[in-house]
Structure 1
Amino acid sequence: MSYVAPKDFVTKMIDAGEAKVFMATRDTLIRAFMAGAILALAAAFAVTVTVQTGQPIVGALLFPVGFCLLYLLGFDLLTGVFTLVPLALFDKRPGVTVRGMLRNWGLVFTGNFAGAFTVAVIMAVIFTYGFAMPPNEVGQAIGTIGEGRTVGYAEYGAAGMLTLFLRGVLCNWMVSTGVVAAMMSTSVSGKVIAMWMPILLFFYMGFEHSIVNMFLFPSGLLLGGDFSIGDYLVWNEIPTVVGNLVGGLAFVGLTLYATHARTGASRKPLLTSDLPPDAAVPADTTPVGMQ
Structure 2
Amino acid sequence: MTDLSSKLVIPTPAAMAAATEDAMLAKATKPWFEMFLLSLTGGAFIALGFIFFVTSQQGLGAPFPVGPAKVLGGVVFSVGLMLVVVSGSDLFTGTTMTVMPLLSKRLGAGRWLGHWVVSLVGNFIGSVVVALLVLWAGTPSSNKSAWGLVVLNATLGKVTLTWGHAFFLAILANFAVCLAVWMANSGRSTADKILAIVGPIALFVASGFEHSVANMFMLPMGWLVKNFAPDSFWQGEAITKAGVTLETFAAITPGAIVFDNLIPVILGNIVGGAVFVGVYFWACYIRPARKAAAEAPAAVADTEATPGR
TM-score between the two structures when normalised by the length of structure 2: 0.78
TM-score between the two structures when normalised by the length of structure 1: 0.82
Q: Which amino acid aligns with 1:149?
A: K
With over 3 angstroms needed to count, the CA separation of the structure-2 counterparts of 1:185 and 1:163, relative to structure 1, is same
Provide the residue aligned with 1:144 in structure 2. 153
With over 3 angstroms needed to count, the CA separation of the structure-2 counterparts of 1:3 and 1:257, relative to structure 1, is same
- In structure 1, stretches of 5+ residues that fail to align are 154-159, 267-291
Distance 1:16 1:57 in 2: 30
With over 3 angstroms needed to count, the CA separation of the structure-2 counterparts of 1:128 and 1:258, relative to structure 1, is closer
- In structure 2, stretches of 5+ residues that fail to align are 1-7, 62-68, 227-248, 293-309
What are the equivalent positions in structure 2 for 1:125-136 lying under 5 Å apart? 125-127=136-138, 136=145
Distance 2:27 2:72 in 1: 34
Q: Could you say what secondary structure the match of 1:149 adopts?
A: helix
Match for residue 70 of structure 2 among 42, 46, 56:
56
Provide the residue aligned with 1:105 in structure 2. 116
Distance 2:23 2:210 in 1: 25
Provide the residue aligned with 2:18 in structure 1. 11
Match for residue 124 of structure 1 among 135, 138, 145:
135
Provide the residue aligned with 1:213 in structure 2. 215
Provide the residue aligned with 1:286 in structure 2. none
Please state how far the C-alpha of 1:98 moved relative to its aligned partner: 0.8
Of Structure 1 and Structure 2, which has the larger fraction of its residues in helix? 2
Q: Which amino acid aligns with 1:92?
A: K
Match for residue 255 of structure 1 among 280, 283, 288:
280
Match for residue 81 of structure 1 among 72, 95, 113:
95
Between 1:211-220 and 1:11-20, the stretch displaced more is 11-20
Runs of 4+ in 1 over 4 A off after TM superposition: none
Please state how far the C-alpha of 1:70 moved relative to its aligned partner: 1.4
Distance 2:108 2:103 in 1: 10
Distance 2:73 2:197 in 1: 16
- Provide the alpha-carbon RMSD of the alignment: 2.1
Provide the residue aligned with 1:187 in structure 2. 189
Q: Percent identity?
A: 30
Distance 1:185 1:66 in 2: 17
The total of aligned residue pairs comes to 254
Distance 1:70 1:21 in 2: 16
Provide the residue aligned with 2:66 in structure 1. none
Distance 1:239 1:53 in 2: 29
Distance 2:167 2:283 in 1: 25
Provide the residue aligned with 1:203 in structure 2. 205
Match for residue 91 of structure 1 among 87, 96, 104:
104
Question: Residue 73 of structure 2 contacts residue 202 of structure 2 at CA under 8 Å; is this kept in 1?
Answer: no
